[in-house]
Structure 1
Amino acid sequence: MEPSKDYIFYHKGFCFPENLITPEYIDSLETFEIRDSDVFLVTFPKSGTVWTQNILSLIIHEGHRNGTENIKNMDRMPWLEFNIKNLDYTALPSPRVFATHLPYYLTPRDLRNKRARVIYVTRNPKDVLVSYFHFSKIIDTLEKVPDFNIFMERFLAGKVPGSKWLDHVTGWYSHAEDFNILFLTYEEMKKDLRSAVLKICDFLGRKLSEKEVESVVRQATFENMKKDPRANYEKLPEVFEGNEEGHFLRKGTIGDWKNIMTVAQSERVDEVLKKKMENLPIKFIWDINDQM
Protein backbone atom coordinates (compact mmCIF):
# COMPACT_ATOMS: atom_id res chain seq x y z
CA MET A 1 0.00 0.00 0.00
CA GLU A 2 1.69 3.16 -1.24
CA PRO A 3 0.94 6.56 0.29
CA SER A 4 -1.60 8.62 -1.60
CA LYS A 5 -0.12 11.31 -3.82
CA ASP A 6 -2.53 13.74 -2.19
CA TYR A 7 -0.72 13.49 1.12
CA ILE A 8 3.02 13.73 0.40
CA PHE A 9 5.50 14.99 -2.17
CA TYR A 10 9.27 14.84 -2.51
CA HIS A 11 11.57 17.80 -3.01
CA LYS A 12 15.36 17.59 -3.12
CA GLY A 13 15.26 14.10 -1.68
CA PHE A 14 13.01 14.92 1.26
CA CYS A 15 9.38 13.98 1.94
CA PHE A 16 6.93 16.78 2.79
CA PRO A 17 3.20 16.89 3.60
CA GLU A 18 1.37 17.93 0.44
CA ASN A 19 -0.95 20.70 1.58
CA LEU A 20 1.25 22.63 4.01
CA ILE A 21 4.18 23.77 1.88
CA THR A 22 5.35 24.31 -1.70
CA PRO A 23 8.70 23.53 -3.35
CA GLU A 24 9.11 27.25 -4.06
CA TYR A 25 8.77 28.14 -0.40
CA ILE A 26 11.24 25.42 0.60
CA ASP A 27 13.77 26.85 -1.88
CA SER A 28 13.19 30.37 -0.56
CA LEU A 29 14.33 29.29 2.89
CA GLU A 30 17.92 28.95 1.65
CA THR A 31 18.25 32.74 1.78
CA PHE A 32 16.11 33.20 4.90
CA GLU A 33 17.76 36.01 6.87
CA ILE A 34 19.22 34.74 10.12
CA ARG A 35 19.73 36.82 13.25
CA ASP A 36 22.50 35.92 15.68
CA SER A 37 19.87 35.70 18.44
CA ASP A 38 17.69 33.19 16.57
CA VAL A 39 17.09 29.74 18.01
CA PHE A 40 16.07 26.77 15.85
CA LEU A 41 14.54 23.68 17.38
CA VAL A 42 15.10 20.79 14.97
CA THR A 43 13.54 17.35 15.23
CA PHE A 44 12.35 14.41 13.21
CA PRO A 45 8.53 14.30 13.62
CA LYS A 46 7.26 12.89 16.93
CA SER A 47 10.57 13.25 18.74
CA GLY A 48 9.53 15.70 21.46
CA THR A 49 9.12 18.88 19.43
CA VAL A 50 6.09 20.33 21.21
CA TRP A 51 7.51 19.46 24.62
CA THR A 52 10.83 21.16 23.84
CA GLN A 53 8.99 24.16 22.38
CA ASN A 54 7.28 24.53 25.73
CA ILE A 55 10.55 24.25 27.65
CA LEU A 56 12.16 26.88 25.44
CA SER A 57 9.16 29.19 25.84
CA LEU A 58 9.30 28.86 29.62
CA ILE A 59 13.05 29.59 29.63
CA ILE A 60 13.00 32.52 27.21
CA HIS A 61 9.66 34.18 28.00
CA GLU A 62 9.12 35.29 31.57
CA GLY A 63 5.48 36.05 30.71
CA HIS A 64 4.87 32.39 29.97
CA ARG A 65 6.76 31.33 33.07
CA ASN A 66 4.79 33.56 35.44
CA GLY A 67 1.46 33.09 33.68
CA THR A 68 0.92 36.69 32.56
CA GLU A 69 0.92 36.04 28.80
CA ASN A 70 -1.69 33.86 27.19
CA ILE A 71 0.13 33.19 23.92
CA LYS A 72 0.09 29.76 22.32
CA ASN A 73 3.46 28.15 21.67
CA MET A 74 2.57 27.70 18.00
CA ASP A 75 2.31 31.50 17.73
CA ARG A 76 5.29 32.24 19.94
CA MET A 77 7.49 29.69 18.16
CA PRO A 78 6.28 29.29 14.59
CA TRP A 79 7.31 26.55 12.20
CA LEU A 80 9.98 27.68 9.77
CA GLU A 81 8.71 25.66 6.81
CA PHE A 82 5.00 25.63 7.70
CA ASN A 83 3.98 29.28 7.83
CA ILE A 84 0.31 28.39 8.18
CA LYS A 85 -0.78 31.85 9.36
CA ASN A 86 1.33 33.75 6.79
CA LEU A 87 3.25 35.59 9.48
CA ASP A 88 5.89 38.15 8.59
CA TYR A 89 8.85 36.41 10.21
CA THR A 90 11.02 39.52 9.75
CA ALA A 91 8.66 41.43 12.04
CA LEU A 92 8.97 39.01 14.94
CA PRO A 93 10.84 40.38 17.96
CA SER A 94 14.17 38.86 18.99
CA PRO A 95 14.94 36.30 20.09
CA ARG A 96 12.97 34.45 17.46
CA VAL A 97 12.52 30.73 18.03
CA PHE A 98 11.55 28.50 15.11
CA ALA A 99 10.64 24.83 15.06
CA THR A 100 11.53 22.76 12.01
CA HIS A 101 11.66 19.18 10.75
CA LEU A 102 13.99 20.10 7.88
CA PRO A 103 17.11 18.04 7.16
CA TYR A 104 20.41 19.83 7.67
CA TYR A 105 20.88 20.55 3.93
CA LEU A 106 17.57 22.41 3.48
CA THR A 107 17.95 24.83 6.38
CA PRO A 108 18.84 28.52 5.76
CA ARG A 109 22.35 28.94 4.36
CA ASP A 110 23.47 31.37 7.07
CA LEU A 111 22.70 28.83 9.75
CA ARG A 112 25.79 26.93 8.56
CA ASN A 113 27.97 29.96 9.35
CA LYS A 114 27.27 29.16 13.01
CA ARG A 115 25.02 32.14 13.21
CA ALA A 116 22.19 31.49 15.65
CA ARG A 117 21.73 28.42 17.82
CA VAL A 118 20.33 25.03 16.90
CA ILE A 119 18.87 22.56 19.40
CA TYR A 120 18.44 19.09 17.93
CA VAL A 121 16.28 16.60 19.83
CA THR A 122 16.18 12.94 18.92
CA ARG A 123 14.20 10.01 20.33
CA ASN A 124 14.47 6.25 20.05
CA PRO A 125 12.96 5.27 16.69
CA LYS A 126 10.56 2.62 17.98
CA ASP A 127 8.77 5.17 20.15
CA VAL A 128 8.91 7.68 17.28
CA LEU A 129 7.29 5.11 14.98
CA VAL A 130 4.48 4.26 17.41
CA SER A 131 3.83 7.93 18.21
CA TYR A 132 3.79 8.78 14.49
CA PHE A 133 1.29 5.98 13.81
CA HIS A 134 -1.12 7.29 16.47
CA PHE A 135 -0.58 10.87 15.31
CA SER A 136 -1.45 10.00 11.71
CA LYS A 137 -4.88 8.87 12.85
CA ILE A 138 -5.86 12.24 14.33
CA ILE A 139 -4.30 14.78 11.94
CA ASP A 140 -6.00 15.51 8.65
CA THR A 141 -2.84 16.40 6.73
CA LEU A 142 -1.50 12.85 7.17
CA GLU A 143 -2.93 9.79 5.51
CA LYS A 144 -4.79 7.58 7.94
CA VAL A 145 -3.22 4.12 7.74
CA PRO A 146 -5.21 1.67 9.92
CA ASP A 147 -2.67 -1.16 9.67
CA PHE A 148 0.40 -0.62 11.87
CA ASN A 149 2.49 -3.03 9.84
CA ILE A 150 1.89 -1.04 6.65
CA PHE A 151 2.70 2.21 8.43
CA MET A 152 5.87 0.67 9.87
CA GLU A 153 7.13 -0.31 6.40
CA ARG A 154 6.40 3.18 5.08
CA PHE A 155 8.24 4.69 8.04
CA LEU A 156 11.27 2.47 7.49
CA ALA A 157 11.27 3.29 3.77
CA GLY A 158 11.05 7.04 4.44
CA LYS A 159 7.64 7.37 2.80
CA VAL A 160 6.34 9.69 5.51
CA PRO A 161 6.88 13.44 6.06
CA GLY A 162 10.40 13.70 7.45
CA SER A 163 11.71 10.90 5.18
CA LYS A 164 13.95 8.27 6.78
CA TRP A 165 14.50 8.67 10.51
CA LEU A 166 18.09 7.45 10.30
CA ASP A 167 18.98 9.82 7.45
CA HIS A 168 17.60 12.79 9.38
CA VAL A 169 19.47 11.98 12.59
CA THR A 170 22.70 10.94 10.87
CA GLY A 171 22.64 14.03 8.68
CA TRP A 172 22.51 16.42 11.62
CA TYR A 173 25.04 14.53 13.74
CA SER A 174 27.55 14.12 10.92
CA HIS A 175 27.37 17.83 10.04
CA ALA A 176 27.43 19.10 13.61
CA GLU A 177 30.62 21.11 13.01
CA ASP A 178 28.74 23.28 10.50
CA PHE A 179 26.35 24.53 13.16
CA ASN A 180 26.26 26.06 16.63
CA ILE A 181 24.33 23.07 17.93
CA LEU A 182 23.21 21.37 21.13
CA PHE A 183 22.12 17.74 20.93
CA LEU A 184 19.56 16.40 23.39
CA THR A 185 17.59 13.18 23.57
CA TYR A 186 13.95 12.87 24.51
CA GLU A 187 14.96 10.15 26.94
CA GLU A 188 17.48 12.25 28.88
CA MET A 189 14.87 15.02 29.14
CA LYS A 190 12.35 12.51 30.47
CA LYS A 191 14.81 10.96 32.92
CA ASP A 192 16.27 14.21 34.27
CA LEU A 193 14.30 17.26 33.13
CA ARG A 194 16.11 19.65 35.46
CA SER A 195 19.53 18.79 34.02
CA ALA A 196 18.18 19.20 30.49
CA VAL A 197 16.70 22.63 31.37
CA LEU A 198 20.05 23.76 32.82
CA LYS A 199 21.86 22.47 29.72
CA ILE A 200 19.53 24.47 27.48
CA CYS A 201 19.89 27.59 29.65
CA ASP A 202 23.68 27.32 29.45
CA PHE A 203 23.58 26.86 25.66
CA LEU A 204 21.31 29.88 25.23
CA GLY A 205 23.28 32.00 27.67
CA ARG A 206 20.20 32.41 29.87
CA LYS A 207 20.87 32.90 33.55
CA LEU A 208 17.75 31.95 35.52
CA SER A 209 17.46 32.08 39.29
CA GLU A 210 16.99 28.82 41.19
CA LYS A 211 13.33 29.73 41.68
CA GLU A 212 12.87 30.36 37.93
CA VAL A 213 14.55 27.06 37.05
CA GLU A 214 12.24 25.19 39.42
CA SER A 215 9.24 26.96 37.87
CA VAL A 216 10.33 25.94 34.37
CA VAL A 217 10.87 22.32 35.43
CA ARG A 218 7.54 22.13 37.26
CA GLN A 219 5.52 23.58 34.38
CA ALA A 220 7.42 21.63 31.71
CA THR A 221 6.59 18.19 33.06
CA PHE A 222 4.54 16.33 30.47
CA GLU A 223 1.59 16.02 32.84
CA ASN A 224 1.40 19.78 33.57
CA MET A 225 2.02 20.68 29.95
CA LYS A 226 -0.86 18.49 28.80
CA LYS A 227 -3.18 20.61 30.98
CA ASP A 228 -1.92 23.90 29.54
CA PRO A 229 -3.72 24.92 26.30
CA ARG A 230 -0.91 27.40 25.54
CA ALA A 231 1.55 24.55 25.38
CA ASN A 232 -0.34 21.49 24.21
CA TYR A 233 -1.56 22.53 20.72
CA GLU A 234 -5.13 22.11 21.96
CA LYS A 235 -6.51 24.56 19.38
CA LEU A 236 -4.97 23.89 15.99
CA PRO A 237 -5.49 25.82 12.76
CA GLU A 238 -8.22 24.38 10.51
CA VAL A 239 -5.69 22.86 8.13
CA PHE A 240 -4.77 20.36 10.87
CA GLU A 241 -8.29 19.39 11.86
CA GLY A 242 -8.26 15.76 12.83
CA ASN A 243 -9.54 12.57 11.30
CA GLU A 244 -10.87 11.43 14.67
CA GLU A 245 -10.81 12.32 18.33
CA GLY A 246 -7.37 12.41 19.91
CA HIS A 247 -4.74 14.60 21.49
CA PHE A 248 -1.61 16.10 19.96
CA LEU A 249 0.14 15.05 23.16
CA ARG A 250 -0.54 11.44 23.98
CA LYS A 251 1.59 9.58 26.55
CA GLY A 252 5.00 11.21 26.59
CA THR A 253 6.80 8.17 27.89
CA ILE A 254 9.72 5.89 27.05
CA GLY A 255 9.11 2.35 25.81
CA ASP A 256 5.48 2.67 24.69
CA TRP A 257 6.50 0.75 21.57
CA LYS A 258 6.35 -2.44 23.65
CA ASN A 259 2.59 -1.99 24.01
CA ILE A 260 2.04 -1.90 20.24
CA MET A 261 4.78 -3.77 18.42
CA THR A 262 4.98 -7.53 18.09
CA VAL A 263 8.30 -9.28 18.56
CA ALA A 264 8.52 -9.72 14.78
CA GLN A 265 7.88 -6.00 14.20
CA SER A 266 10.49 -5.02 16.78
CA GLU A 267 12.99 -7.33 15.11
CA ARG A 268 12.13 -5.82 11.72
CA VAL A 269 13.00 -2.33 13.01
CA ASP A 270 16.21 -3.73 14.49
CA GLU A 271 17.06 -5.35 11.18
CA VAL A 272 16.70 -2.07 9.28
CA LEU A 273 18.12 0.33 11.86
CA LYS A 274 20.06 -1.25 14.73
CA LYS A 275 23.35 -2.00 12.96
CA LYS A 276 23.46 1.40 11.26
CA MET A 277 22.64 3.13 14.54
CA GLU A 278 25.87 1.86 16.05
CA ASN A 279 27.71 4.62 14.19
CA LEU A 280 25.67 7.33 15.90
CA PRO A 281 27.28 9.00 18.96
CA ILE A 282 24.09 8.46 20.97
CA LYS A 283 23.14 5.76 23.44
CA PHE A 284 19.41 5.28 23.04
CA ILE A 285 17.13 4.37 25.92
CA TRP A 286 14.50 1.87 24.87
CA ASP A 287 12.56 1.46 28.12
CA ILE A 288 11.59 3.75 31.00
CA ASN A 289 13.46 1.48 33.42
CA ASP A 290 16.73 1.52 31.48
CA GLN A 291 19.62 3.53 32.91
CA MET A 292 21.14 6.43 30.99
Structure 2
Amino acid sequence: MDHKYELVAHRGFNFIRGIHDPDDVDGISKLEMRDSDIFVVTYPKSGTVWMQQILLLLEAKGDMTVYSVAKMPCNGDLVPWIEVIGSREAFLTAPSPRLRVTHLPYHLMPAALGQKKGKVIYVARNPKDVLVSYYHFHHLAKMLDTPTSFEDFFEKFLRGDVFGSGWFQHVKTWYSHRDDIDMFFITYEEMIHNLNVSVKKLCTFLGKELTEEQLADVVKYSTFSNMKKIPQANYEHVSDDLFNHHMGRFMRKGTIGDWKNHFTVAQNEIFDQVFQREMEDFPVSFTWDMTDMA
Protein backbone atom coordinates (compact mmCIF):
# COMPACT_ATOMS: atom_id res chain seq x y z
CA MET A 1 0.00 0.00 0.00
CA ASP A 2 1.22 3.47 -0.87
CA HIS A 3 2.15 5.37 2.31
CA LYS A 4 -0.15 8.22 1.30
CA TYR A 5 -3.11 5.83 1.71
CA GLU A 6 -2.40 4.64 5.25
CA LEU A 7 -5.22 4.23 7.77
CA VAL A 8 -5.83 7.17 10.08
CA ALA A 9 -8.17 7.15 13.08
CA HIS A 10 -10.44 10.17 13.50
CA ARG A 11 -13.29 10.54 15.98
CA GLY A 12 -13.47 6.82 16.63
CA PHE A 13 -13.43 5.72 12.99
CA ASN A 14 -10.69 4.49 10.65
CA PHE A 15 -10.29 6.50 7.45
CA ILE A 16 -7.85 6.30 4.53
CA ARG A 17 -5.38 9.16 4.23
CA GLY A 18 -5.48 10.54 0.71
CA ILE A 19 -9.06 9.38 0.16
CA HIS A 20 -10.64 11.11 3.17
CA ASP A 21 -9.87 14.39 4.90
CA PRO A 22 -10.81 14.86 8.59
CA ASP A 23 -11.84 18.50 8.09
CA ASP A 24 -14.09 17.51 5.19
CA VAL A 25 -15.63 14.71 7.24
CA ASP A 26 -16.26 16.99 10.22
CA GLY A 27 -18.32 19.27 7.99
CA ILE A 28 -20.71 16.49 7.00
CA SER A 29 -22.63 16.59 10.29
CA LYS A 30 -23.50 20.25 9.62
CA LEU A 31 -24.91 19.70 6.13
CA GLU A 32 -28.38 21.05 5.44
CA MET A 33 -30.65 18.28 4.20
CA ARG A 34 -33.46 18.20 1.67
CA ASP A 35 -36.41 15.84 1.98
CA SER A 36 -35.38 14.28 -1.34
CA ASP A 37 -31.84 13.39 -0.18
CA ILE A 38 -31.08 9.66 -0.05
CA PHE A 39 -28.12 8.05 1.70
CA VAL A 40 -27.20 4.40 1.24
CA VAL A 41 -25.26 3.35 4.34
CA THR A 42 -23.19 0.19 4.54
CA TYR A 43 -20.19 -1.31 6.19
CA PRO A 44 -17.62 -1.96 3.41
CA LYS A 45 -18.34 -4.94 1.14
CA SER A 46 -22.00 -5.18 2.14
CA GLY A 47 -23.79 -4.33 -1.10
CA THR A 48 -22.93 -0.67 -1.60
CA VAL A 49 -22.38 -0.88 -5.36
CA TRP A 50 -25.44 -3.10 -5.73
CA MET A 51 -27.61 -0.47 -4.07
CA GLN A 52 -25.97 2.26 -6.16
CA GLN A 53 -27.16 0.34 -9.22
CA ILE A 54 -30.70 -0.09 -7.89
CA LEU A 55 -31.01 3.58 -6.92
CA LEU A 56 -29.76 4.74 -10.32
CA LEU A 57 -32.21 2.50 -12.13
CA LEU A 58 -35.15 3.42 -9.89
CA GLU A 59 -34.44 7.08 -10.60
CA ALA A 60 -34.22 6.31 -14.33
CA LYS A 61 -37.33 4.07 -14.19
CA GLY A 62 -35.30 1.11 -15.40
CA ASP A 63 -33.92 2.94 -18.43
CA MET A 64 -30.33 1.83 -19.06
CA THR A 65 -29.60 4.85 -21.26
CA VAL A 66 -28.82 6.63 -17.98
CA TYR A 67 -25.26 5.38 -18.53
CA SER A 68 -24.84 6.62 -22.09
CA VAL A 69 -26.34 10.00 -21.16
CA ALA A 70 -24.24 10.48 -18.03
CA LYS A 71 -21.00 9.25 -19.66
CA MET A 72 -19.54 8.49 -16.26
CA PRO A 73 -16.87 5.79 -15.78
CA CYS A 74 -18.50 4.11 -12.80
CA ASN A 75 -21.52 4.05 -10.50
CA GLY A 76 -19.46 5.84 -7.85
CA ASP A 77 -19.44 8.94 -10.04
CA LEU A 78 -23.22 8.92 -10.36
CA VAL A 79 -23.90 8.03 -6.71
CA PRO A 80 -20.75 9.24 -4.90
CA TRP A 81 -19.41 8.53 -1.42
CA ILE A 82 -20.17 11.57 0.73
CA GLU A 83 -16.99 11.14 2.82
CA VAL A 84 -14.52 11.15 -0.10
CA ILE A 85 -12.47 14.34 -0.49
CA GLY A 86 -14.44 16.95 -2.44
CA SER A 87 -17.79 15.14 -2.24
CA ARG A 88 -19.16 17.21 0.65
CA GLU A 89 -18.52 20.43 -1.28
CA ALA A 90 -20.17 19.03 -4.40
CA PHE A 91 -23.17 17.93 -2.32
CA LEU A 92 -23.96 21.53 -1.35
CA THR A 93 -24.91 22.63 -4.86
CA ALA A 94 -25.95 19.31 -6.43
CA PRO A 95 -29.47 19.17 -7.92
CA SER A 96 -32.15 17.04 -6.28
CA PRO A 97 -32.42 14.20 -5.71
CA ARG A 98 -28.98 13.98 -4.14
CA LEU A 99 -28.13 10.27 -4.06
CA ARG A 100 -25.10 9.35 -1.97
CA VAL A 101 -23.49 6.29 -0.42
CA THR A 102 -21.39 6.15 2.71
CA HIS A 103 -19.56 3.88 5.12
CA LEU A 104 -19.65 6.49 7.88
CA PRO A 105 -20.87 5.72 11.41
CA TYR A 106 -24.03 7.40 12.61
CA HIS A 107 -22.30 10.07 14.74
CA LEU A 108 -20.46 11.54 11.74
CA MET A 109 -23.53 11.86 9.51
CA PRO A 110 -25.73 14.98 9.04
CA ALA A 111 -27.48 15.82 12.31
CA ALA A 112 -30.55 16.82 10.26
CA LEU A 113 -31.25 13.12 9.64
CA GLY A 114 -32.51 13.05 13.22
CA GLN A 115 -35.17 15.56 12.21
CA LYS A 116 -36.44 13.06 9.60
CA LYS A 117 -34.89 15.11 6.78
CA GLY A 118 -33.81 12.88 3.92
CA LYS A 119 -33.88 9.09 3.83
CA VAL A 120 -31.41 6.36 4.80
CA ILE A 121 -31.17 2.90 3.27
CA TYR A 122 -29.03 0.64 5.46
CA VAL A 123 -27.78 -2.61 3.92
CA ALA A 124 -26.31 -5.20 6.30
CA ARG A 125 -24.53 -8.37 5.20
CA ASN A 126 -23.55 -11.40 7.25
CA PRO A 127 -20.11 -10.53 8.64
CA LYS A 128 -18.38 -13.79 7.71
CA ASP A 129 -18.96 -13.11 4.02
CA VAL A 130 -18.11 -9.44 4.56
CA LEU A 131 -14.74 -10.48 6.00
CA VAL A 132 -13.95 -12.75 3.03
CA SER A 133 -15.07 -10.19 0.44
CA TYR A 134 -13.08 -7.48 2.20
CA TYR A 135 -10.00 -9.71 2.28
CA HIS A 136 -10.10 -10.17 -1.49
CA PHE A 137 -10.83 -6.46 -2.02
CA HIS A 138 -7.65 -5.62 -0.12
CA HIS A 139 -5.73 -7.39 -2.89
CA LEU A 140 -7.53 -5.43 -5.61
CA ALA A 141 -7.61 -1.94 -4.07
CA LYS A 142 -4.30 -0.10 -3.97
CA MET A 143 -5.57 2.26 -1.28
CA LEU A 144 -5.80 -0.69 1.14
CA ASP A 145 -2.95 -2.64 2.69
CA THR A 146 -2.43 -6.06 1.04
CA PRO A 147 -2.95 -8.68 3.77
CA THR A 148 0.04 -10.86 4.66
CA SER A 149 -2.34 -13.79 5.13
CA PHE A 150 -6.01 -14.60 5.60
CA GLU A 151 -5.32 -15.37 9.26
CA ASP A 152 -3.78 -11.94 9.78
CA PHE A 153 -6.72 -10.20 8.09
CA PHE A 154 -9.18 -12.32 10.07
CA GLU A 155 -7.69 -10.97 13.30
CA LYS A 156 -7.59 -7.37 12.04
CA PHE A 157 -11.25 -7.55 11.02
CA LEU A 158 -12.33 -8.82 14.43
CA ARG A 159 -10.33 -6.03 16.09
CA GLY A 160 -11.85 -3.43 13.77
CA ASP A 161 -8.34 -2.55 12.59
CA VAL A 162 -9.49 -1.87 9.01
CA PHE A 163 -11.09 0.99 7.10
CA GLY A 164 -14.63 1.23 8.47
CA SER A 165 -13.52 0.05 11.93
CA GLY A 166 -15.66 -2.64 13.59
CA TRP A 167 -18.53 -4.33 11.76
CA PHE A 168 -20.45 -5.09 14.96
CA GLN A 169 -20.52 -1.52 16.22
CA HIS A 170 -21.37 -0.12 12.79
CA VAL A 171 -24.45 -2.31 12.32
CA LYS A 172 -25.66 -2.11 15.92
CA THR A 173 -25.36 1.67 16.19
CA TRP A 174 -27.13 2.41 12.92
CA TYR A 175 -29.89 -0.07 13.71
CA SER A 176 -30.39 1.48 17.15
CA HIS A 177 -31.33 4.77 15.44
CA ARG A 178 -33.85 3.22 13.03
CA ASP A 179 -36.76 5.02 14.73
CA ASP A 180 -34.93 8.36 14.99
CA ILE A 181 -34.47 8.74 11.25
CA ASP A 182 -36.38 7.82 8.10
CA MET A 183 -34.64 4.46 7.60
CA PHE A 184 -35.13 1.39 5.43
CA PHE A 185 -33.13 -1.55 6.82
CA ILE A 186 -32.51 -4.55 4.60
CA THR A 187 -29.99 -7.38 4.45
CA TYR A 188 -27.83 -8.35 1.51
CA GLU A 189 -29.14 -11.88 1.86
CA GLU A 190 -32.76 -10.73 1.56
CA MET A 191 -31.84 -9.08 -1.73
CA ILE A 192 -30.21 -12.26 -3.04
CA HIS A 193 -33.15 -14.38 -1.93
CA ASN A 194 -35.79 -12.25 -3.66
CA LEU A 195 -34.51 -9.18 -5.48
CA ASN A 196 -37.92 -8.47 -6.98
CA VAL A 197 -39.60 -8.19 -3.57
CA SER A 198 -36.68 -6.16 -2.18
CA VAL A 199 -36.83 -3.65 -5.03
CA LYS A 200 -40.59 -3.27 -4.66
CA LYS A 201 -40.23 -2.59 -0.92
CA LEU A 202 -37.51 -0.06 -1.63
CA CYS A 203 -39.66 1.59 -4.29
CA THR A 204 -42.49 1.98 -1.77
CA PHE A 205 -40.12 3.42 0.85
CA LEU A 206 -38.81 5.99 -1.62
CA GLY A 207 -42.29 6.88 -2.87
CA LYS A 208 -41.41 5.97 -6.45
CA GLU A 209 -44.18 5.10 -8.88
CA LEU A 210 -42.96 2.68 -11.52
CA THR A 211 -44.90 0.40 -13.82
CA GLU A 212 -44.48 -3.36 -13.51
CA GLU A 213 -42.42 -3.29 -16.70
CA GLN A 214 -40.15 -0.56 -15.34
CA LEU A 215 -39.71 -2.43 -12.05
CA ALA A 216 -38.88 -5.58 -13.98
CA ASP A 217 -36.13 -3.69 -15.83
CA VAL A 218 -34.70 -2.36 -12.55
CA VAL A 219 -34.53 -5.90 -11.20
CA LYS A 220 -33.17 -7.31 -14.48
CA TYR A 221 -30.25 -4.89 -14.67
CA SER A 222 -29.53 -5.15 -10.95
CA THR A 223 -28.87 -8.89 -10.90
CA PHE A 224 -25.28 -9.87 -10.16
CA SER A 225 -24.83 -11.59 -13.54
CA ASN A 226 -25.97 -8.52 -15.48
CA MET A 227 -24.03 -6.05 -13.33
CA LYS A 228 -20.83 -7.98 -14.07
CA LYS A 229 -21.41 -7.16 -17.74
CA ILE A 230 -21.93 -3.43 -17.11
CA PRO A 231 -18.50 -1.71 -16.98
CA GLN A 232 -19.77 1.14 -14.79
CA ALA A 233 -21.28 -1.25 -12.25
CA ASN A 234 -18.21 -3.50 -12.27
CA TYR A 235 -15.85 -0.52 -11.89
CA GLU A 236 -13.84 -1.67 -14.93
CA HIS A 237 -12.75 1.84 -15.89
CA VAL A 238 -11.48 2.89 -12.47
CA SER A 239 -7.89 4.13 -12.66
CA ASP A 240 -5.04 1.64 -12.39
CA ASP A 241 -3.72 3.97 -9.70
CA LEU A 242 -6.55 2.78 -7.45
CA PHE A 243 -7.22 -0.82 -8.55
CA ASN A 244 -4.92 -3.70 -9.45
CA HIS A 245 -7.21 -4.85 -12.25
CA HIS A 246 -4.98 -7.83 -13.02
CA MET A 247 -5.76 -9.13 -9.51
CA GLY A 248 -9.40 -9.71 -10.42
CA ARG A 249 -12.70 -7.97 -11.08
CA PHE A 250 -14.50 -5.71 -8.65
CA MET A 251 -17.55 -7.96 -8.62
CA ARG A 252 -16.26 -11.35 -7.55
CA LYS A 253 -18.95 -13.84 -6.42
CA GLY A 254 -21.90 -12.02 -4.85
CA THR A 255 -23.09 -15.13 -3.07
CA ILE A 256 -23.85 -16.35 0.45
CA GLY A 257 -21.57 -18.72 2.34
CA ASP A 258 -18.22 -18.15 0.60
CA TRP A 259 -16.72 -17.89 4.10
CA LYS A 260 -16.88 -21.70 4.25
CA ASN A 261 -14.16 -21.78 1.60
CA HIS A 262 -11.83 -19.68 3.75
CA PHE A 263 -12.53 -20.13 7.48
CA THR A 264 -10.84 -22.92 9.38
CA VAL A 265 -12.92 -24.77 11.98
CA ALA A 266 -11.05 -22.91 14.71
CA GLN A 267 -11.62 -19.52 13.06
CA ASN A 268 -15.32 -20.25 12.69
CA GLU A 269 -15.57 -21.12 16.37
CA ILE A 270 -13.76 -17.92 17.35
CA PHE A 271 -15.97 -15.84 15.08
CA ASP A 272 -19.14 -17.43 16.42
CA GLN A 273 -18.09 -16.68 19.99
CA VAL A 274 -17.45 -13.02 19.15
CA PHE A 275 -20.69 -12.75 17.19
CA GLN A 276 -22.77 -14.26 19.99
CA ARG A 277 -21.20 -11.94 22.53
CA GLU A 278 -21.52 -8.78 20.42
CA MET A 279 -24.92 -9.44 18.88
CA GLU A 280 -26.63 -11.17 21.79
CA ASP A 281 -29.60 -8.78 21.90
CA PHE A 282 -29.65 -7.85 18.21
CA PRO A 283 -33.14 -8.62 16.83
CA VAL A 284 -32.14 -9.21 13.20
CA SER A 285 -31.01 -12.68 12.15
CA PHE A 286 -28.46 -13.27 9.39
CA THR A 287 -28.34 -15.94 6.71
CA TRP A 288 -25.00 -17.75 6.62
CA ASP A 289 -25.44 -20.17 3.73
CA MET A 290 -27.47 -20.51 0.54
CA THR A 291 -29.05 -23.70 1.88
CA ASP A 292 -30.64 -21.61 4.64
CA MET A 293 -32.75 -19.92 1.96
CA ALA A 294 -34.76 -23.07 1.27
Same fold (TM over 0.5): yes
Shorter-chain TM band? over 0.9
Which of 65, 70, 93 lines up with 1:67 in the alignment? 65
Q: Is the 8 A contact 1:137 1:243 kept in 2?
A: no
Residue aligning to 1:78: 80
CA distance in 2, matches of 1:243, 1:226: 14
Q: Is the 8 A contact 2:20 2:84 kept in 1?
A: yes
- The percentage of counterpart residues that share the same residue type is 46
Residue aligning to 2:46: 47
Q: Deviations over 1:211-241 (max 9, x none)?
A: 0111111111000011001222222245523
| SS of equivalent residue, structure 2 residue 24 | helix
| SS of equivalent residue, structure 1 residue 41 | strand
Report the RMSD for the aligned CA atoms in angstroms.
1.9
Counterparts in 2 of 1:255 and 1:159: CA distance versus 1, 3 Å: same
CA distance in 1, matches of 2:212, 2:228: 24
CA distance in 2, matches of 1:237, 1:34: 32
Structure 1 residues 93-102 or 67-76, which shifts more?
Answer: 67-76
Which of 254, 258, 261 lines up with 2:263 in the alignment? 261
Q: CA deviation at 1:66?
A: 3.7
Structure 1 residues 87-96 or 24-33, which shifts more?
Answer: 87-96
The AA in structure 1 aligned to 2:27 is S
Gaps of 5+ in 2: none
| SS of equivalent residue, structure 1 residue 228 | coil
Counterparts in 2 of 1:85 and 1:23: CA distance versus 1, 3 Å: closer
1:90 matched to 2:92:
yes
CA distance in 2, matches of 1:112, 1:234: 37
CA distance in 2, matches of 1:35, 1:41: 15
Q: Deviations over 1:165-193 (max 9, x none)?
A: 00000000112122100000000000000
CA distance in 2, matches of 1:244, 1:226: 16
**TM-score, structure 2 normalization:** 0.93
Q: Is the 8 A contact 1:121 1:183 kept in 2?
A: yes
Counterparts in 2 of 1:265 and 1:185: CA distance versus 1, 3 Å: same
Gaps of 5+ in 1: none
CA distance in 2, matches of 1:283, 1:157: 22
Q: How many residues align?
A: 288
The AA in structure 1 aligned to 2:156 is R
Structure 1 residues 85-94 or 107-116, which shifts more?
Answer: 85-94
Residue aligning to 2:120: 118
Q: Deviations over 1:20-54 (max 9, x none)?
A: 11111111111122111000000000001101110
| SS of equivalent residue, structure 1 residue 152 | helix
1:144 matched to 2:146:
yes
1:166 matched to 2:154:
no
Q: CA deviation at 1:94?
A: 1.0
CA distance in 2, matches of 1:44, 1:183: 13
**TM-score, structure 1 normalization:** 0.93
Q: Is the 8 A contact 2:81 2:87 kept in 1?
A: no
Residue aligning to 2:11: 12
CA distance in 1, matches of 2:269, 2:177: 29
Q: Is the 8 A contact 2:60 2:66 kept in 1?
A: no
Give 4+ residue runs of structure 1 displaced > 3 Å after superposition.
83-87
The AA in structure 2 aligned to 1:192 is N
Counterparts of 1:197-276 in structure 2 under 5 Å?
Answer: 197-237=199-239, 240-242=242-244, 244-276=246-278
Q: Is the 8 A contact 1:14 1:163 kept in 2?
A: yes
The AA in structure 2 aligned to 1:133 is Y
